[in-house]
Copies of this chain bind each other. A is one copy, B any other.
Amino acid sequence: MTESKESTVRLLITCPDQPGIVAAVSGYLHRKNANIIHSDQHSTDPEGGRFFMRNEFFLPGLDMDGLDDLRREFAEEVTNGFVMDWSLNPVWIPKKMAILCSKVDHALMELLWRSKRGDLETEVSMVISNHPTLRREVENFDVPFHHVPVGPTLRDKVTAEDAMIELMEGNADLIVLARYMQILTSDFVKRYERRIINIHHSFLPAFVGADPYRRAHERGVKLIGATAHYVTEKLDEGPIIEQDVIRVTHSHTVDDLKRLGGDIERHVLARAVKWHLEDRVIVDGNKTIVFRR
């Protein structure tokens, strides 16, 4: 993206739908002489539903102090009379991303590589792994690598999570689980609500339990897929951000399925992360609104 990001802001709004929201917001932005670059909106139902809006606008000369003023003013002049969740996000400050992984590298590498190429609006602040395996690969990208092993007991897990929380404090606007093979505690998940993205394989029909690729092979599926979602306390059931599939045939072995599954996982995860970083994803209960291009 070559668009300048200076003085550019993204406004996200979620509220019960009612007449006048757009008029109030656009009237305000017009009075501020904001130049609207993109605008998307969605209503689940104009009568009694919920309303979602994403606005990207340019305000010449706006800096962080100006943004603070804008937030105060917006709260006073616009949000009155609406029960509104909203945020004003400075586009010129990339979100900090911490990546958690284990031994498998495909999803991690895709994220590091895209970040380096400027495809993702982010600064990768660190990679944390419960194994030392991928240290060199990560450090080749000049990204700090932290090995935080996780012992077998719940107490060990809490200790490890505490260490991770300390590392990430102030350094992780987004946490991405790039094939991190540890289950997180509810406390950890709650602390970073709607800020943890996970990727997992998906099949038609679904296979619950161990060794899913072998079971998909035994079932003779013709498609294998992946789902990227926000992590909630219910394992693998958080709001879906993106899904995709790839075609397979009877001649693919279990290992082929795993390899192709890895490919589809890294692409699906990269898209979900990109959209999150660009403030394109709004969570609505257990669903997402994704304002894609």
Residues in chain A within 8 A of chain B (CB atoms) = 1-3, 19-20, 22-23, 26-27, 29-30, 33-43, 46-47, 58, 105-106, 109, 113, 117, 119, 140, 202-206, 218-223, 225, 227, 239-245, 249-253, 255-256, 259, 284, 286-290, 292-293
Q: List 14 A-B contacts (CB under 8 A).
A: A1-B253, A1-B256, A2-B255, A19-B30, A19-B33, A19-B34, A27-B27, A38-B42, A205-B206, A220-B239, A222-B241, A223-B225, A223-B244, A250-B288
Chain B residue at minimal CB-CB distance from A258: B2
A1 touches B227 (CB 8 A): no
List chain B residues, Cβ under 8 A from A43: 36-38
A219 touches B256 (CB 8 A): no
A117 touches B106 (CB 8 A): yes
Question: What is the count of identical protomers in the complex?
Answer: 4
B287 touches A250 (CB 8 A): yes
B46 touches A58 (CB 8 A): yes
**Complex: A227 Cα to B204 Cα, angstroms:** 8
Chain B residue at minimal CB-CB distance from A137: B140
**Complex: A287 Cα to B155 Cα, angstroms:** 45
**Complex: A255 Cα to B3 Cα, angstroms:** 9
Chain B residue at minimal CB-CB distance from A44: B250
Chain B residue at minimal CB-CB distance from A252: B293
A114 → chain B, closest Cβ, in Å?
9
A222 touches B242 (CB 8 A): yes
A22 → chain B, closest Cβ, in Å?
4
A231 → chain B, closest Cβ, in Å?
15
Chain B residue at minimal CB-CB distance from A35: B46
Chain B residue at minimal CB-CB distance from A272: B222
**Complex: A293 Cα to B291 Cα, angstroms:** 10
